[in-house]
């Protein structure tokens, strides 16, 4: 029946082409690859399902003509359909040609190469046949686990991770038993190749997994060393979430006529994400960040920094300002990272600050805002970063902080991502207070509509009857309380001050200043500052009572507001001071 299958495959491919023509260019790419594969390796033609629910997202594994034992393993793992990178990657790797596969994190790249290498491994031979390079110990173990699960029913196939930090003699012992598939970090693999504890003579396939991350971690030379050890005839497969230049250089140097697969996931398009940028100086970034957090009040936010140090610093700063924030980066232990992720996922932490590498694999749906505290080094990372918001059809927001020339980088990003990032003014503290009030009022409307308020209305009525307060006074006081007094005082301080009954002389108001005798300040300094800043004649200043750490000054009531406004940014003897109405006695 193979001939029949083959023909059906062609027929379906044509049909498919017609069907998806207007949907996705990527798919045409897929077709060309498929056609190439089909020509190259006569069999392994993909056999599509008759009912075309969606295009290639719905390829089932049993349509890939795989070894039934592998299919069983896949089934046990609970995979129903191949992901796009698997649907394209599996036949490509099976063809024996070199392959470059690019797809976002979490799209199943491991199985995309794991399944075909298992398919081609010879279980009766104990020679090393497949080497997989992996950037970290965790990832190496993860990949080994996944391949072992896939190979669950393939007796005689041995899979072993080798990585730095683990006792090498233990690894050597394990290797002696004969391991067909080795997953290792570049440094440790190099070590074993030098010691001849891994013999590369029968290696058919080498896989560079998470290639971008390996290069980020400075493994380029080690990777090249490992590649130099391999026999002339072998297949080189490379998978990566992004394809920066250095990777393309490696592929050019070590691959021949590679099949190029690139999956651009729909989610990665940035259509439903509002994107803004702010021109911010480095030292002002944290203030702008907190302003935006206050203004938009996102449920979960992801903040990206370019260095681990910045991640730590920012997490510390934000916590100091009362935000619930945690950092995530590669220097942290796995248990720590797991804890941080768990807290973020269940909302215990609202703000996660991360580097690009650490953010790999973060898959949280409710992220409402992504902040590029630092602009990403690679344009492509921008898409990956902001793709963390606006999931599942929700609308997300992305904010980028740029300074000076970085605006040009932003232009590149816009061109690359075919998107628009709008300049936006930083919200003022008034804006923040206003939006808070609006949000509270929204909640209030819901309460009025949905709750039974009779009993509380009684309480308010009594209060109004027994005091001089109006309903308006009481409502205002509640709003004030709900907004948190500090927010309002900054927003309101411009205009209205409340001069309490302080026992000041008739017609005068009493003001408080936070400097006193201990600051080596004399009454004359204060008088001079007030007269100088406000333009009110010095002779109008009334009593000045100095204490060790503070001072009370009386000024004519009609000048009270003016003096306070004028003194806001004033200094006395080089010291910034704070002046406000004195509390009532």
Site residues (CB under 6 A) for ligand ADP? 79, 82-83, 86, 103, 105-111, 146
CB of 142 to ligand ADP, least distance (A): 7
In this structure, are residues 318 and 351 in contact, taking their beta carbons and an 8 Å threshold? Answer: yes
Residues 107 to 166 in contact with Mg ion, rule: CB under 5 A: 109
Decide: is 360 part of the binding site for Mg ion (CB under 5 A).
no
Residues 398 to 427 in contact with Mg ion, rule: CB under 5 A: none
> 109 or 510: whose CB is closer to Mg ion?
109
The set of residues, in sequence order, having a beta carbon less than 8 Å from that of 395 and lying 6+ positions away, is 272, 273, 274
CB of 432 to ligand ADP, least distance (A): 38
Q: How does strand 300-304 pair with strand 367-372?
A: parallel
CB of 139 to Mg ion, least distance (A): 7
For ligand ADP, the nearest residue by Cβ is 108
Q: Which does 102 bind (CB under 5 to 8 A by kind): ligand ADP, Mg ion, none?
A: none
CB of 412 to ligand ADP, least distance (A): 26
Site track for Mg ion across 80-109, x = CB under 5 A = -----------------------------x
Q: How does strand 551-556 pair with strand 508-513?
A: antiparallel
The set of residues, in sequence order, having a beta carbon less than 8 Å from that of 344 and lying 6+ positions away, is 300, 326, 352, 364
**2 alpha-carbon distance from chain centroid:** 47
Question: Nearest-CA neighbor of 105 among 124, 85, 122?
Answer: 85
> 139 or 410: whose CB is closer to ligand ADP?
139
Q: Which does 84 bind (CB under 5 to 8 A by kind): ligand ADP, Mg ion, none?
A: none
> 185 or 372: whose CB is closer to Mg ion?
185
The set of residues, in sequence order, having a beta carbon less than 8 Å from that of 34 and lying 6+ positions away, is 13, 46, 88, 91
Q: Which does 83 bind (CB under 5 to 8 A by kind): ligand ADP, Mg ion, none?
A: ligand ADP
Report the first-to-last Cα separation within the chain, whole angstroms: 99
> 111 or 303: whose CB is closer to ligand ADP?
111
For Mg ion, the nearest residue by Cβ is 109
Rounded Cα–Cα distance for residues 242 and 212 (Å): 6
359, two tokens: 């953010």
CB of 171 to ligand ADP, least distance (A): 23
CB of 306 to ligand ADP, least distance (A): 21
CB of 210 to Mg ion, least distance (A): 5
Q: Which does 79 bind (CB under 5 to 8 A by kind): Mg ion, ligand ADP, none?
A: ligand ADP
Q: Which does 469 bind (CB under 5 to 8 A by kind): Mg ion, ligand ADP, none?
A: none
Q: Which does 325 bind (CB under 5 to 8 A by kind): Mg ion, ligand ADP, none?
A: none
> 3 or 53: whose CB is closer to ligand ADP?
53
> 110 or 171: whose CB is closer to ligand ADP?
110
Q: How does strand 508-513 pair with strand 235-240?
A: unpaired
Site track for Mg ion across 249-268, x = CB under 5 A = --------------------
CB of 400 to ligand ADP, least distance (A): 25
Helix (H) or strand (E) holding 477: helix 471-483
> 392 or 459: whose CB is closer to ligand ADP?
392
> 68 or 503: whose CB is closer to ligand ADP?
68
CB of 79 to ligand ADP, least distance (A): 4
CB of 179 to ligand ADP, least distance (A): 21
CB of 109 to Mg ion, least distance (A): 5
> 109 or 329: whose CB is closer to Mg ion?
109
CB of 88 to Mg ion, least distance (A): 16
The total number of residues shown for the chain amounts to 585
Q: Which does 402 bind (CB under 5 to 8 A by kind): ligand ADP, Mg ion, none?
A: none
Q: Which residues is 512 bridged to in the sheet?
A: 552, 580
Q: Which residues of 485-511 are buried (b: 16+ CB within 10 A; e: fewer)?
A: eebbeebeeeeebebeebebeeebbbb
Helix (H) or strand (E) holding 160: strand 159-162
CA dihedral 87, 110, 273, 487 (to 10 degrees): 160
Q: Which does 106 bind (CB under 5 to 8 A by kind): ligand ADP, Mg ion, none?
A: ligand ADP
Q: How distant, in Å, are the alpha carbons of 38, 127, 208 from that of 118?
A: 20, 14, 16
CB of 13 to ligand ADP, least distance (A): 22
CB atoms within 10 A of CB 438: 10
Rounded Cα–Cα distance for residues 83 and 66 (Å): 16
Site track for Mg ion across 509-548, x = CB under 5 A = ----------------------------------------
> 113 or 344: whose CB is closer to ligand ADP?
113
The set of residues, in sequence order, having a beta carbon less than 8 Å from that of 125 and lying 6+ positions away, is 180, 202
205, two tokens: 């396939």
In this structure, are residues 109 and 261 in contact, taking their beta carbons and an 8 Å threshold? Answer: no
* DSSP assignment of 215-260: HHTT-HHHHHHHHHHS-SS-EEEEEES---HHHHHHHHHH-SS-EE
CB atoms within 10 A of CB 429: 14
> 109 or 137: whose CB is closer to Mg ion?
109
Helix (H) or strand (E) holding 526: helix 523-534
> 138 or 221: whose CB is closer to Mg ion?
138
Q: 256 burial class (0-12, 13-18, 19+ CB within 10 angstroms)?
A: exposed
Q: Which does 491 bind (CB under 5 to 8 A by kind): Mg ion, ligand ADP, none?
A: none
Q: Which does 480 bind (CB under 5 to 8 A by kind): Mg ion, ligand ADP, none?
A: none
> 338 or 438: whose CB is closer to Mg ion?
338
* Residue numbers at the binding site for Mg ion (CB under 5 A): 109
């Amino acid at each position: 029946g193979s001939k029949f299958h083959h023909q059906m495959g062609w027929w379906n491919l044509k049909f498919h082409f017609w069907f998806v023509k207007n949907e996705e260019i990527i798919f045409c790419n897929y077709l060309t690859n498929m056609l190439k594969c089909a020509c190259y390796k006569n069999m392994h033609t993909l056999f599509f399902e008759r009912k075309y629910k969606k295009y290639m997202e719905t390829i089932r594994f049993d349509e890939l003509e795989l070894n039934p034992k592998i299919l069983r393993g896949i089934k046990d793992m609970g995979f129903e359909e191949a992901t796009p990178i698997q649907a394209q990657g599996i036949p490509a790797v099976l063809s024996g040609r070199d392959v470059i596969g690019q797809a976002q994190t979490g799209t199943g790249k491991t199985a995309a190469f794991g399944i075909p290498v298992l398919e081609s491994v010879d279980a009766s031979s104990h020679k090393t046949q497949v080497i997989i390079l992996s950037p970290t110990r965790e990832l190496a173990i993860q990949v080994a686990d996944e391949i072992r699960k896939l190979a669950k029913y393939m007796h005689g196939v041995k899979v072993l991770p080798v990585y730095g930090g683990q006792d090498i003699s233990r690894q050597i012992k394990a290797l002696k038993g004969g391991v067909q598939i080795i997953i290792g970090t570049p440094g440790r693999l190099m070590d074993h190749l030098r010691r001849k504890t891994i013999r590369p003579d029968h290696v058919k396939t080498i896989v560079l997994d998470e290639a971008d991350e390996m290069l980020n971690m400075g493994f380029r030379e080690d990777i090249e060393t490992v590649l130099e050890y391999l026999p002339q005839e072998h297949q080189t497969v490379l998978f990566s979430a992004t394809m920066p230049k250095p990777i393309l250089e490696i592929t050019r140097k070590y691959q021949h006529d590679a099949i190029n697969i690139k999956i651009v996931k729909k989610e990665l398009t940035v259509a439903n994400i509002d994107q803004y940028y702010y021109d911010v100086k480095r030292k002002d970034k944290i203030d702008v960040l907190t302003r935006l957090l206050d203004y938009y009040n996102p449920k979960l936010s992801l903040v990206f920094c370019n260095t681990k140090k910045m991640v730590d610093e920012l997490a510390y700063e934000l916590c100091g300002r009362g935000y619930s924030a945690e950092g995530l980066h590669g220097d942290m232990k796995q248990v720590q990272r797991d804890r941080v992720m768990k807290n973020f996922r269940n909302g215990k932490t609202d703000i996660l600050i991360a580097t690009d590498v650490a953010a790999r694999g973060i898959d949280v749906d409710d992220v409402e805002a992504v902040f590029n505290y630092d602009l990403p080094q690679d344009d492509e990372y921008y898409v990956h970063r902001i793709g963390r918001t606006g999931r599942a059809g929700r609308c997300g927001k992305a904010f980028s902080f740029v300074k000076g020339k970085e605006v040009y980088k932003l232009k590149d990003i816009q061109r690359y991502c075919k998107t628009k990032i709008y300049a936006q003014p930083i919200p003022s503290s008034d804006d923040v207070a206003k939006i808070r009030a609006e949000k509270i009022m929204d909640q209030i409307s819901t309460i009025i509509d949905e709750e039974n308020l009779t009993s509380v209305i009684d309480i308010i009525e009594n209060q109004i009857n027994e005091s001089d307060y109006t309903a308006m006074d009481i409502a205002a006081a509640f709003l004030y309380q709900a907004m948190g007094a500090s927010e309002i005082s900054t927003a309101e301080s411009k205009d209205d001050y409340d001069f309490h009954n302080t026992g000041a002389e008739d017609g005068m108001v009493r003001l408080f200043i936070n400097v006193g005798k201990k600051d080596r300040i004399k009454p004359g300094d204060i008088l001079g500052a007030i007269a100088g800043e406000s333009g009110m004649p010095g002779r109008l200043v009334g009593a000045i009572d100095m204490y060790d750490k503070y001072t009370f000054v009386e000024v004519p009531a009609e000048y009270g507001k003016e003096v306070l406004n004028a003194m806001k940014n004033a200094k006395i003897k080089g010291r910034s001071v704070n002046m406000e109405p004195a509390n009532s006695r």
